[in-house]
A and B are shown apart, each in its own frame.
Chain A
Amino acid sequence: AQSVTQPDIHITVSEGASLELRCNYSYGATPYLFWYVQSPGQGLQLLLKYFSGDTLVQGIKGFEAEFKRSQSSFNLRKPSVHWSDAAEYFCAVGLYNTDKLIFGTGTRLQVFP
C-alpha cells in the first residue's frame, strides 16, 4: 500500500541554522511529490512539488527538496532558517492513477532565536 513516512515528529533548530526534514515514500509507480506547510491555525500552503525532470526542486520561502528514487526519499532543505518558518510540515505523494494525495504525519518545526 502507498504510504509516506516522516520519521521526525518534532525538530528544533536555532534561527540561522540549516534544516533538513526527511520524507520517505512507498509507491510502486512514478511518484508525484509535494511539501506543504501549515502555520498554526492556518490551512496548508504548497512549498514545492516534483513531477518530473530535475530532481532538485526549488520552492517558495527559500526551500528546496531533492528527489532520490534509489532511496525513495524527498527531503526538504533550507540553508538558513527564520523564526517565521516555525510550523508543521507535511510531505505528500500523489497517486498516478487517481487524484489522491497521501500525506505523511507531519514534522513540527520549532525555531529558537
Chain B
Amino acid sequence: DTAVSQTPKYLVTQMGNDKSIKCEQNLGHDTMYWYKQDSKKFLKIMFSYNNKELIINETVPNRFSPKSPDKAHLNLHINSLELGDSAVYFCASSQDLLGIYRGLGYEQYFGPGTRLTVT
C-alpha cells in the first residue's frame, strides 16, 4: 500500500490557469506538508498542516492555497499559474508536529511528487 500518494503525477497547463494537486496519506499521521523542488533540485517547504490546522506558511504567493479536508488529505490549489511555478511539488507527512520539539525523531515521509509544467 502506498503510504503517501499524490495525483496527478504530471500536470501540464498554460499560464493563467487554475489547478489542484491532491495528496493523501494512509499512515495515520497528524501532520502533512507541501514542498517545492525547483529545477536545480532545491527543496523548500511551503506549508504544513497539523490536524487540519495551518502551522507553517512560508513566503509563498497567495495564489497558492492549501486545503486540508481531514488529517489524511492535504490538497494544493494554485490560481493564475505562472511560468515560475513549474517545479516538482512533494507532499509529505509525519506522525506528529511536535516530534522535533520533544526530540522524538519523527521523520517525514514523502510522496512521489507531481511535476508541474506551465507553458
A12 at the interface (CB under 8 A from B): no
Instruction: Give how many A residues have a beta carbon under 8 Å from the other chain's beta carbons.
Output: 26
B62-96 with Cβ < 8 A to chain A: 90, 92, 94
Please pick, from B4, B40, B50, B56, the residue contacting A43 in the complex, using a CB distance under 8 A. B4
Q: Would B110 and A99 count as touching, CB distance under 8 A?
A: no
Q: Would B45 and A100 count as touching, CB distance under 8 A?
A: yes
A11 at the interface (CB under 8 A from B): no
Complex alpha-carbon distance, A15 and B48, angstroms: 39
Instruction: Decide: A99 near B109, CB < 8 A? Known: A88-B41, A90-B43, A105-B41.
Output: no
A4-55 with Cβ < 8 A to chain B: 32, 34, 36, 38, 41-46, 49, 51-52
For B41, list chain A residues within 8 Å (CB). Answer: 38, 88, 105-106
For the side of the interface on B, what is the size category?
A: 20 to 34
A72-113 with Cβ < 8 A to chain B: 88, 90, 94-101, 103, 105-106
For A88, list chain B residues within 8 Å (CB). Answer: 41
For B48, list chain A residues within 8 Å (CB). Answer: 99-100
Please pick, from A44, A95, A96, the residue contacting B110 in the complex, using a CB distance under 8 A. A44
Q: Would B99 and A45 count as touching, CB distance under 8 A?
A: no
Please pick, from B44, B45, B107, B110, the residue contacting A49 in the complex, using a CB distance under 8 A. B107
